[in-house]
Structure 1
Amino acid sequence: MGSTITARVSDEVRRELEEITKSEKLDRSTVVRRLLERAIKDYKLDEALRKYQNREISLGKAAEEAGISLRKILSEARKQDVHFDYTKESLREDVRVEDE
């Protein structure tokens, strides 16, 4: 079992949640849980790509922090038009991260 959290939301967000619960034929808790899980994954990906773009971490480390494969983060970086500064040293670092 997990923990219970509460959050105050605007009437608009509440209405949107109700529409989703009807559309998906799910209870509100399930919808909120799924949306929150998706938002956390998106946040982790965005944060990892931001760190990579700022040269704080390698692409392999960014994939690790986002919890996705190197191939997937390459695809996501292309979608978000992230500039690649990929050197031989970056490749070596990423291979080390994948091996761990």
Structure 2
Amino acid sequence: MKVKTIRLGEDKIQEIERIAKEEGKLVSEVLREIVDKGLKEYKIERAIEKYQRGLLSQGAAAEEAGLTIQEFHQELKKRGFTLRMDVELIKAELDDL
């Protein structure tokens, strides 16, 4: 495991320390959980954005987000997006299979 250093505002440090204390965890554990959750969310948002712009098919976007196609569909729905469906898109999706 590598070590990286970041600068955080005092308010964020206090919040992280409070969470660690409440959960009985080390600050480093809480930070890793936050980074893991944030990275997952970031990947999903980026994949949805690329999908909505037509840069990725559903399958490719799901893969980039680290999700199954069904999970990707659920994320789209949860975030108020709709599936893009047209003849060319359907052909591309079938080609991805």
Q: How many residues align?
A: 97
- In 2 relative to 1, CA 55–24 (structure 1 residues): closer, same or farther, beyond 3 Å? same
Q: Offset at 1:83?
A: 2.7
Q: Which has the higher contact order (CA 8 A, sep 6+)?
A: 1
Q: Which residue in the other structure is 1:94 paired with?
A: 93
Aligned to 1:37: 36
Aligned-pair identity in percent equals 29
Deviation at 1:92, TM superposition (A): 4.5
CA distances 1:41-98 after superposition (whole Å, capped 9, x unpaired): 000000000001111111111100001100001000001111321235434433554x
Q: TM-score, normalised by structure 2?
A: 0.90
Read off the aligned partner of 1:72 and give its amino acid letter: E
In the alignment, which residue of structure 1 is the partner of 2:52? 53
Q: Is the 8 A contact 2:57 2:93 kept in 1?
A: yes
Give the unaligned 5+ runs of structure 2.
Answer: none
Go from structure 1 to structure 2 and tell me whether the alpha carbon gap of 1:95 and 1:64 turns closer, same or farther (over 3 Å shift): farther
* Dislocated runs of 4+, deviation >2 Å: 87-97
Partners of 1:95 and 1:41 in 2: how far apart?
Answer: 27
